[in-house]
């Protein structure tokens, strides 16, 4: 994702890459990463002295909270795609940014199809009391469930305002019923061949509804990242979810 972001920034006249950060970067020479000589390469927070408007983060679940906190504390507007933060961590970062009137966004998914899937799921959630989420990702994904699956479940729960009820007598011998968010079961598949897909299945008396999106190319996320960059410059609070913007 970092490479996709760099390519997108290089293609936009009004955006300029001023620095990159990776604590495991051995070299700090931009030439070693095919970056322009003006780009600073940092591998420690203490070195970061650049005047940047925006911090774009597609890193790893264990680093994203500290990275985002650092950005906010240094008045750099965060555009965060990395998954894996808890609801409490996101709430803490939102308070930090909002108190400073700093624009920012944390988006579980920057793809238009995923954002629409989540919006459609919120509509369906008004009419169906039961739903389950299936998400399919490449085998290298670190976190489960995906950020998108967690956000979808949260958005459904926000509409329904009550826990979904499952069969109390069922006996799950090996965890086959998946994860559970307020009664919404989440099933995570990790297989080579997938990029990122999600299905939200709603069940009612005598009918089901499936809302499905597929990501086949990671360039698809860049349209949403570009929109987010423009939006956070105009805002004075941290927005959680691209669905709040588009």
Ligand X SMILES: O=C(O)C1=N[C@H](C(=O)O)C[C@H](O)C1
Ligand Y SMILES: NC(=O)C1=CN([C@@H]2O[C@H](COP(=O)(O)OP(=O)(O)OC[C@H]3O[C@@H](n4cnc5c(N)ncnc54)[C@H](OP(=O)(O)O)[C@@H]3O)[C@@H](O)[C@H]2O)C=CC1
Q: Which residues are catalytic?
A: 137, 141
Strand (E) or helix (H) holding 112 = helix 112-124
Q: Which residues face 77 on adjacent strands?
A: 54
CB atoms within 10 A of CB 77: 23
Pick the stretch among 28-36, 46-54, 141-149, 205-213 that binds ligand X (CB under 6 A).
141-149
Smallest separation, CB 230 to ligand Y (Å): 16
What, of ligand X, ligand Y, none, does residue 104 touch, CB below 5 to 8 Å by kind?
none
d(CA 77, CA 75): 6
Nearer to ligand X, 48 or 116 (CB): 116
> Strand order in 77-80's β-sheet?
54-57, 77-80, 104-106, 238-240
Pick the stretch among 21-29, 94-102, 172-180, 233-241 that binds ligand Y (CB under 6 A).
21-29
What, of ligand X, ligand Y, none, does residue 23 touch, CB below 5 to 8 Å by kind?
ligand Y
Residues between 55 and 74 with contacts to ligand Y, criterion CB under 6 A: 58-61, 63, 67
Binding mask 116-135 for ligand X (x = CB under 6 A): --------------------
Strand (E) or helix (H) holding 211 = strand 207-215
Pick the stretch among 8-16, 95-103, 144-152, 227-235 that binds ligand X (CB under 6 A).
144-152
Q: Is 35 exposed, middle or buried (0-12, 13-18, 19+ CB in 10 A)?
A: middle
Q: Does residue 148 bind ligand X (CB under 6 A)?
A: yes
C-beta of residue 200 within 8 angstroms of C-beta of residue 117? yes
Q: Which residues bind ligand X (CB under 6 A)?
A: 83, 108-109, 137, 141, 146-148, 196
């Amino acid at each position: 994702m970092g490479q996709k972001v760099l390519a997108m920034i290089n293609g936009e006249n009004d955006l300029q890459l001023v620095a990159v950060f990776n604590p495991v970067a051995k070299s700090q020479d931009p030439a070693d990463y095919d970056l322009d000589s003006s780009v600073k390469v940092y591998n420690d927070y203490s070195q970061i002295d650049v005047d940047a408007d925006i911090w774009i983060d597609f890193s790893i679940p264990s680093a994203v909270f500290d990275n985002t906190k650092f950005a906010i504390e240094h008045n750099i507007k965060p555009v965060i795609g990395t998954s894996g933060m808890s609801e409490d961590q996101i709430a803490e970062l939102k308070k930090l940014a909002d108190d400073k009137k700093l624009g920012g966004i944390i988006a579980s998914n920057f793809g238009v199809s995923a954002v629409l899937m989540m919006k459609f799921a919120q509509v369906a959630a008004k009419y169906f009391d039961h739903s389950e989420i299936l998400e399919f990702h490449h085998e290298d994904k670190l976190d489960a469930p995906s950020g998108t699956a967690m956000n979808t479940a949260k958005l459904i729960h926000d509409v329904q305002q009550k826990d979904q009820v499952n069969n109390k007598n069922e006996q799950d011998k090996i965890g086959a019923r998946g994860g559970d968010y307020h009664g919404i079961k989440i099933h995570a598949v990790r297989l080579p061949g997938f990029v990122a897909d999600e299905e939200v299945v709603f069940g009612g008396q005598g009918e089901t509804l499936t809302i499905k999106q597929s990501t086949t190319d990671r360039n698809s996320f860049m349209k949403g990242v570009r929109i987010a960059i423009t939006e956070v410059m105009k805002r004075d609070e941290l927005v959680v979810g691209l669905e709040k913007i588009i």
